[in-house]
């Protein structure tokens, strides 16, 4: 006994399908297709909140810096009062001193290794060195992050942003042993890496996939190439990008379209003989592999960091990932040294490099503050 199943549209206003014009039927089909949205669109609020938090923390850092009090003769934009910037020779990005950033949680490998202040791996991604720095990063975050949060929601993008930022800080601290590091660049590169892995793991659901892939690779290559310039922490970029690339396979996996078509079949419609699984086998393989690599990488990285190991001693050529020396610039950090003599709260500093001498009135003899004064004197 054979059973024939027919699926028909319910009549509307008692008008049969035969009486409906072709234009009306086409309009119904377009409406039905537009209403089928297998992927929910989220309202983006987390990324704007992160932008506001970063800008607010930059203003707080300028308030704490208080250049007119600590460097009264050398401040830039003095009309801003307490929010005026450090001298351009000391900080050309228009921002606070390195001592202020260190006090607020900048990534300082010495503090992480010897005082076990591991929290600096996280706090440093919320600080920025200057106006140009924070504006560039926040504009990039808005451009990249808003779309990702709309498509995948605040939970997944929030975890991806934070973990990628920590991954960038971790790789940076393993190779950059001198100075401090701040900025959200590692987290931003994590979003770029996640966009690439999301395209790869959800390859079958995209149209014009090769054009999208080539465009994304070009954008990533340009941004990583900027990192070979001096004073740019490209290890943070690489660490964030790698973390985000692996996290994209974990957090941004999408079900295949066949699964949604199967779920949205009209009632009474005969299902296909072979039911579609939610994800393809290669997606599961990438998910498990990426998760294992992330756990292993972060665990090994933290252990190596806290043991005080300098990976530059085990990889003599790795420093070229961060800076390539040319005739136009030198990649070696320029350390400054001063001779000092102190009587009471008066300290006399003499820069060894240029012979300049200055007398300072100190409210404290914090070594970081003294080093800051020495840097100003030698600049």
Strand 338-343 to strand 180-181: parallel, antiparallel, or no bridges (unpaired)? unpaired
The DSSP-derived string for 181-226 is: E--SHHHHHHHHHHHHHHHHHTGGG-SSHHHHHHHHHHHHHHHHHH
- Residues 6+ away with beta carbon under 8 Å from 270: 5
End-to-end CA distance of the chain: 94
- 73, 83 contact by CB (below 8 A): no
The answer to whether 369 is a known catalytic residue is: no
Of the residues 173, 185, 243, 290, only one is catalytic, namely 185
Alpha-carbon distance values, 15 to 10, 266, 310, 328 (Å): 10, 21, 79, 79
Length of the chain in terms of residues written:
379
Rg (CA), the chain: 28
Q: Is 185 a catalytic residue?
A: yes
Question: 3-state DSSP call for residue 309?
Answer: coil
> Which of 84, 173, 181, 237 is an active site residue?
237
- Bridge partners (DSSP) of residue 358 are 349
Instruction: Mention every residue, 6+ apart, whose C-beta is less than 8 A from residue 307.
Output: none
| CA 346 – CA 77 distance, rounded (Å) | 27
Q: How many angstroms separate the CA atoms of 348 and 351, rounded?
A: 10
As a whole number of angstroms, the distance between CA 184 and CA 146 comes to: 16
- Active-site residues: which are they? 185, 237
């Amino acid at each position: 006994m054979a059973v024939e199943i027919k699926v028909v549209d319910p009549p509307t206003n008692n008008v049969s399908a035969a009486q409906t014009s072709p234009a009306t039927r086409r309009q119904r089909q377009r409406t039905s297709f537009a209403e089928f949205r297998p992927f929910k669109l989220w309202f983006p609020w987390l990324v704007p909140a992160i932008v506001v938090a970063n800008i607010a923390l930059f203003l707080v850092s300028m308030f704490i810096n208080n250049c007119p009090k600590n460097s009264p003769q050398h401040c830039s934009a003095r009309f801003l009062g307490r929010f005026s910037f450090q001298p351009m020779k000391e900080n050309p990005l228009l921002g606070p001193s390195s001592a202020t950033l260190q006090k607020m949680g900048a990534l300082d490998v010495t503090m992480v290794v010897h005082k076990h202040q591991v929290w600096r791996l996280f706090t440093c991604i919320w600080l920025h060195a200057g106006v140009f720095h924070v504006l560039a990063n926040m504009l990039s975050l808005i451009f990249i992050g808003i779309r990702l949060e709309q498509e995948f929601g605040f939970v997944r993008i929030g975890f991806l942003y934070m973990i990628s930022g920590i991954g960038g800080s971790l790789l940076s601290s393993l190779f950059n042993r001198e100075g401090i590091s701040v900025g959200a660049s590692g987290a931003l590169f994590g979003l770029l890496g996640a966009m690439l892995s999301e395209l790869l793991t959800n390859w079958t659901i995209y149209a014009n996939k090769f054009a999208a892939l080539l465009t994304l690779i070009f954008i990533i290559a340009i941004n990583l190439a900027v990192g070979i310039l001096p004073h740019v922490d490209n290890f943070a970029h690489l660490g964030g990008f790698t973390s985000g690339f692996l996290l994209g396979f974990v957090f941004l996996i999408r079900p295949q379209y066949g699964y949604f078509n199967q779920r949205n079949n009209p009632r009474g419609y005969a299902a296909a003989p072979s039911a579609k699984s939610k994800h393809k086998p290669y997606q599961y393989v990438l998910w498990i592999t990426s998760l294992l690599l992330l756990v292993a990488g972060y665990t090994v990285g933290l252990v190596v960091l806290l043991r005080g190991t300098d990976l530059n001693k085990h990889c003599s050529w790795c420093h070229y990932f961060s800076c390539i020396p040319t005739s136009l610039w030198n990649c070696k950090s320029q350390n400054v040294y001063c001779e000092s003599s102190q009587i009471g709260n008066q300290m006399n500093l003499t820069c060894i490099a240029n012979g300049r001498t200055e007398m300072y009135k100190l409210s404290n003899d914090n070594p970081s503050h003294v080093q800051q004064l020495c840097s100003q004197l030698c600049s």
